[in-house]
Chain A
């Protein structure tokens, strides 16, 4: 069965530190890839997405992610985090095996940024 692994469940950083959150998936076919963010008490919002083309994608709020097909990875990065980035981050994969838009989510990474 397809699955998505997020290796870090909790991350604590100081403001201005760099961030990298890991995401690996298990599916050998073509995929669409997403990172969503959930701020405390809010719904999920799309940070960035990869469908095809340049494997380095840029999203909102200074986030970027790199798709490495050979490693089945889609890691999220930000050069300098802010206190307002405190949130839970979810990696999600849409395996393009049928016409379904089903998303398979990782278990999430809680990020706490200390001022």
Chain B
């Protein structure tokens, strides 16, 4: 089944404790991206990747890092999480502009 998977689905952590949210797709898509969803703001792009080893900032990249060492994986790294990064995070992969979304990761930073 074609899908985008994310782990973990739920995470509660404390300020400053590094964490990684994994994202994997099995559709051989070159383009992948990360979004955060906040009430009243819709989804905003954090980072995107056009292909392996090619990443670029989206609209809200501060406090996040990404890497793209393999085509299927695109992890999101929070080196020092802060409470304002409490949000719902979605990974997506794309073929010809149509994006396929993962199930989401609800992150709470206390």
B43 at the interface (CB under 8 A from A): yes
Instruction: Name the interface size band of chain B.
Output: 20 to 34
Interface string of B91-108 (1 = CB under 8 A from A): 000101111111110000
Complex Cα distance, B102 from A103, in Å, reads: 15
Residues of A contacting B: mostly: loop
**Within the complex, which residue of A34, A42, A100, A106 is in contact with B42, where a contact is CB–CB below 8 Å?**
A106
Instruction: Name the interface size band of chain A.
Output: 20 to 34
Residues of B with C-beta under 8 A to A106: 42
Residues of A with C-beta under 8 A to B25: none
**Which chain B residues in 67-110 approach chain A with CB under 8 Å?**
90, 94, 96-104
Q: How far is the CB of A30 from chain B (nearest CB, A)?
A: 11
User: Judging by beta carbons under 8 Å apart, are B44 and A105 in contact?
Assistant: yes
**Which chain B residues in 16-74 approach chain A with CB under 8 Å?**
31, 33, 35, 40-45, 48, 50, 56, 58
User: Judging by beta carbons under 8 Å apart, are B94 and A90 in contact?
Assistant: no
The answer to whether A101 and B97 touch (CB under 8 A), given A43-B102, A43-B104, is yes
Least CB separation from A42: chain B residue:
B103
**Within the complex, which residue of A43, A90, A100 is in contact with B103, where a contact is CB–CB below 8 Å?**
A43
User: Judging by beta carbons under 8 Å apart, are A102 and B42 in contact?
Assistant: no
User: Judging by beta carbons under 8 Å apart, are B50 and A99 in contact?
Assistant: yes
Residues of A with C-beta under 8 A to B98: 34, 46, 49
User: Judging by beta carbons under 8 Å apart, are B48 and A107 in contact?
Assistant: no
User: Judging by beta carbons under 8 Å apart, are A32 and B97 in contact?
Assistant: yes
Residue from A49, A101, A102, A108 having most chain B Cβ neighbours under 10 A: A101
